[in-house]
Structure 1
Amino acid sequence: MAILSCDDDPEQNPEGFTEFVTNIDGDWKIDQVLQNGNDITNFIDFQSFSLQLSYENGMPSSYTLSNLTTPFVLGQASGNWSFDDPIYPTKINFSDGTSLDIQGAVLSGGDELTVTVPMGCTSNTYTYRLSK
């Protein structure tokens, strides 16, 4: 004969599950650029490109581009930016009206980010692989 007893329920977090805003602040450089699936990285000087994404009070706030001569979709050297969803982002929206589609999951504190943007029409897309 076996005697069974139950332990009390394990202690639970009274605040429940906490989700955090995705944090990708930092200085991003271009590693690779694809135009309609073709690698064009070696045909254009992307070495001087830098996209600085900043946060204020834990939320996306401002951006700064270091080089406007590098082909990139932003028309302004600086401005504000945001996510379409701060916890599970699929787009980065900039104050000049530009929106970048995020490819794959975005990890807080991660050092790689891939974004895609149509240029003029849906059949002409650029994919940028960025790293910190």
Structure 2
Amino acid sequence: MELIKSFTRVHSRLKQRIMKVNFVLSAALLVLGLIGLSSCEDEVSNVPTAEAVKDITGSWKVVQLTRNGEDLSERLDLSGFRIGFNSDGTYTLANQLPFIADAPGTYKLSDPQYPFALVLTPEGVEEDVVARFQFPMVKGKRQLSLSFSLGCESNTYQFNFERENQN
């Protein structure tokens, strides 16, 4: 009987020591894990989140013209028409096609980072003319897409331009 009591005491002490060792190991692993996590560099915080200002300066040539979704590029000679946007806020037109503006003037984007419209003010005209603005990448090249109506509201024209001197 004495042997059983002695065995029970030893067993009880052994259980307590095992529980202490488990507790100490768990605490040590938790501390090491927290140290490891806090030492990691947050790569996401190094990613720039500000949208770049849209730069449309340069000479742009027409690569596609549609009216109400129908491609007019084959019917019209688009090769000569250019619109040039200068860094001083002015624009020029060359070899005019029917377009939203018929004279050189000034331009501005509705918002420099997130533009949805291009506002043109032709010389000698009191009112601004506005075109819907998109600036997509197509086949690795930046395009400038302007949509507007000329006269009849039911006809929507879309001019897709590529920068001529794109590097």
TM-score normalized by structure 1? 0.77
Question: Which residue of 1 is the match for residue 64 of structure 2?
Answer: 32
Report which of the two has the higher share of strand: 1
Higher Rg: 2
Q: Which runs of 5+ in 2 are unaligned?
A: 1-24, 123-127
Q: CA–CA distance in 2 between the matches of 1:119 and 1:92?
A: 15
State the 4+ residue runs in structure 1 displaced beyond 3 angstroms: 16-20
Q: Which runs of 5+ in 1 are unaligned?
A: none
Shift of 1:21: 2.1
Does residue 1:83 correspond to 2:109, yes or no? yes
Percent identity (aligned): 27
Question: Which residue of 1 is the match for residue 92 of structure 2?
Answer: 64
> Structure 1 122/98 Cα, relative in aligned 2: closer, same or farther at 3 Å?
same
Assess if the C-alpha contact under 8 Å between 1:89 and 1:106 holds in 2: no
TM-score normalized by structure 2? 0.63
Assess if the C-alpha contact under 8 Å between 2:147 and 2:158 holds in 1: yes
Q: CA–CA distance in 1 between the matches of 2:108 and 2:66?
A: 24
Report Cα offsets for 1:81-129 as digits up to 9, x if no partner. 00011110011001132111013x457xx63111110122331110111
Report which of the two has the higher share of helix: 2
Higher RCO (C-alpha under 8 Å, 6+ residues apart): 1
Report Cα offsets for 1:3-32 as digits up to 9, x if no partner. 23133876x78xx96554211111100111
Residue type at the aligned position of 2:86: S
> Structure 1 81/8 Cα, relative in aligned 2: closer, same or farther at 3 Å?
same
